[in-house]
A and B are shown apart, each in its own frame.
Chain A
């Protein structure tokens, strides 16, 4: 087991699936941090039944804030060299973490990004595909990076990137913010094919299309106001 990698899992009302997801992740990785973002269901008690470290936001702040809290906590441990972000709803595949980590190490990258469009997206609803493709186009135009997937929760990055990240977008805008950081900081990055499995559960939890509009506007406003 790699002691020098920490798996960060933001959790918001995932009581139904989180224990299963964690028991899988904990088989391969010992340092797993769950950041409960003010869930109102039984997520917290489910996480406590596992060996994952639990950090609790007293109120719901958004996924970006949860990730940053997890990163801040993990950075306190000097042994942690690599950080992986993983979704709590069970749509990521565990083996993909290793794939990203191996690529990061072999290519000496700062960050490896998962891409479902280079890999596979199983049972992806067409509406989701259309929104995502539009969001990706938008992000590529604004940041100048050429990526195939921008809103993928699966990433692995090194300590240097973690120390400089400091996410300000508290909700889903953090994904665009991370891409922007890569572009502005000239970090070495690569996309790695990953598999995303859409289940009925994850589809019901995913980002609604209307949110994509908010996201686009927010990203645009953030860029203008900088």
Chain B
């Protein structure tokens, strides 16, 4: 019982923190919806684990715990890809910025010559 309280509290904390955190990079609306959905599903599964078992049987998976593992794996892969793309975009921006700094500096030193 205690574990249920801890898990639900944790899900709620992450959910509200995610929605209220405006200082981080732009969070798209669909990402918010995704987090909302995940939180709701998480809470339902914590309250009544039998639901995950039933859902698993529906999808041809023998146990609810297995289904959760599969979904977690998918979520992990998706997150990795997302981070990779974000990293690539950050790098592109850094390159533009650094090249601009280099060119400006070179122009300044040319004027001083």
Query: Which A residues fall within an 8 A CB radius of B?
Result: 35, 53-59, 61-62, 65, 68-69, 72-73, 76, 170
Task: Determine if A59 and B106 form an interchain contact, defined as CB atoms under 8 angstroms apart.
Answer: no
Query: Which B residues fall within an 8 A CB radius of A?
Result: 91, 94-95, 98-99, 101-103, 105-107, 110
Measured in the bound complex, the distance between the Cα atoms of B100 and A73 in whole Å is 10
Among residues of B, the one whose C-beta sits closest to the C-beta of A62 is: B95
Task: Determine if B94 and A73 form an interchain contact, defined as CB atoms under 8 angstroms apart.
Answer: no
Measured in the bound complex, the distance between the Cα atoms of B107 and A55 in whole Å is 9
Among residues of B, the one whose C-beta sits closest to the C-beta of A72 is: B103
Interface majority SS (helix, strand, loop, mixed), chain B: helix
A53: which B residues are within 8 A, CB to CB?
106, 110
A69-B94 in contact given A53-B106, A55-B106, A56-B105 (Cβ < 8 Å)? no
Interface majority SS (helix, strand, loop, mixed), chain A: mixed
Task: Determine if B103 and A69 form an interchain contact, defined as CB atoms under 8 angstroms apart.
Answer: yes
Measured in the bound complex, the distance between the Cα atoms of B39 and A194 in whole Å is 64
B98: which A residues are within 8 A, CB to CB?
57-59, 61, 65
Measured in the bound complex, the distance between the Cα atoms of B106 and A170 in whole Å is 20
B101: which A residues are within 8 A, CB to CB?
58
Measured in the bound complex, the distance between the Cα atoms of B102 and A59 in whole Å is 10
Among residues of A, the one whose C-beta sits closest to the C-beta of B101 is: A58
Task: Determine if B102 and A170 form an interchain contact, defined as CB atoms under 8 angstroms apart.
Answer: no
A57: which B residues are within 8 A, CB to CB?
98-99, 102
Return A7 CB to nearest CB of chain B, in Å: 16
Measured in the bound complex, the distance between the Cα atoms of B85 and A132 in whole Å is 29
B95: which A residues are within 8 A, CB to CB?
61-62, 65, 170
Return B110 CB to nearest CB of chain A, in Å: 8
Measured in the bound complex, the distance between the Cα atoms of B94 and A30 in whole Å is 32
Task: Determine if A56 and B102 form an interchain contact, defined as CB atoms under 8 angstroms apart.
Answer: yes
A55: which B residues are within 8 A, CB to CB?
102-103, 105-106
Measured in the bound complex, the distance between the Cα atoms of B98 and A68 in whole Å is 12
Return A62 CB to nearest CB of chain B, in Å: 8
Q: Which 5 residue pairs spanning A and B have beta carbons closest together? A: A55-B106, A69-B99, A57-B102, A61-B95, A55-B102
Partner of B102 from the list A58, A62, A76 (CB cut-off 8 Å) is: A58
Among residues of B, the one whose C-beta sits closest to the C-beta of A64 is: B95
Return B107 CB to nearest CB of chain A, in Å: 8
Measured in the bound complex, the distance between the Cα atoms of B13 and A109 in whole Å is 65
B107: which A residues are within 8 A, CB to CB?
76
Measured in the bound complex, the distance between the Cα atoms of B109 and A56 in whole Å is 11
Q: Give me 24 A-to-B residue pairs in the complex whose CB atoms sit less than 8 angstroms apart, sorted by A's number.
A: A35-B102, A53-B106, A54-B106, A55-B102, A55-B103, A55-B106, A56-B102, A56-B105, A57-B98, A57-B99, A58-B98, A58-B102, A59-B98, A61-B94, A61-B95, A61-B99, A62-B95, A65-B95, A68-B99, A69-B102, A69-B103, A72-B103, A73-B106, A170-B95
Measured in the bound complex, the distance between the Cα atoms of B91 and A55 in whole Å is 20
